[in-house]
Amino acid sequence: MTQSSLWQTNLQNNNFAEMCNALYERELRGLAHAEISSIQGVQGRLKSLPHYINKSANLMAQLNEQGHTPLTLDVQNATWSTQQARQLPLVGEEDSAIFSWYLDLLAQPNISLLGLVVPVLVIDHIVLDCIDRIDVDNKRLRTNVFGWFSLIPVREKTNKKVDNRRLLKPNKKVMLAACAGHRWQTSTCKNKLRPIIPSLRELLLSCAINWQNFKQPLTL
């Protein structure tokens, strides 16, 4: 091992340790304020933390090192950062375009939507989720957190809950905003708000984004 490679290894180890510390601090703080009704629930969350934190820190560091992401890694906070757009990036996100994008994928036998990372607009920011079920007959799909989304246009939305969550079509601007936790004022969609930190689950999903082809998950 050369002196330069030793220095690089030490730097990588330091970055990994720093990210793990930031993730543990954030997750434990959130757990302390979470409404969990049983001790078993707390114990289950604590038992799973080392696995998911180590996996997140490893993948984020690997993506950053190999240049597989256009995002900038903030090692101290274990987050992604990028310049925020002046307004919510919804150009090309009309319902017809969104439905067509997903229906086109459903029609292709060589592409599976299961496990695909997708963006969901929730009030003032975009959240990462993944598809876990597909109903081809009724032209709808389900994401792991936000549930079912229909790919059929409707004239009126009577369910207010649906209005607060909207499936989007992945593109670079949308996915960058989701990964970095960007927010905008709801009334105008233009005034920037202070970014939020994506959840540990979202950070893991951010490491499965194929920035060259949003129709396929990234394989590391």
User: pLDDT by residue (tens digit) across 91-107?
Assistant: 999 999 999 999 999 99
Closest-CA residue to 61 (of 212, 207, 216): 207
pLDDT in tens, 45-92: 889 999 999 999 999 999 999 999 999 999 999 999 999 999 999 999
User: pTM for the complete prediction?
Assistant: 0.88
pLDDT per residue as tens digits for the range 10-46 = 556 788 999 999 999 999 998 888 777 778 877 888 8
DSSP per-residue string spanning 68-85: --SSEEETTTTEEE-PPP
Name the percent of the chain in helix, strand, coil, to the closest 5.
Answer: 40, 15, 40
**Helices in 76-197 by DSSP H: which ranges?**
95-106, 160-163, 172-180
Percent of the chain with pLDDT over 70: 89
Domain extents in the chain: 3-71, 95-206
Q: What proportion of the chain, given as a percentage, has pLDDT over 90?
A: 69
pLDDT 10s digits, 82-93 = 999 999 999 999
Distance CA 24, CA 50 (A): 8
The two tokens of residue 16 are: 């990994």
Q: What is the mean pLDDT of residues 103-125?
A: 92
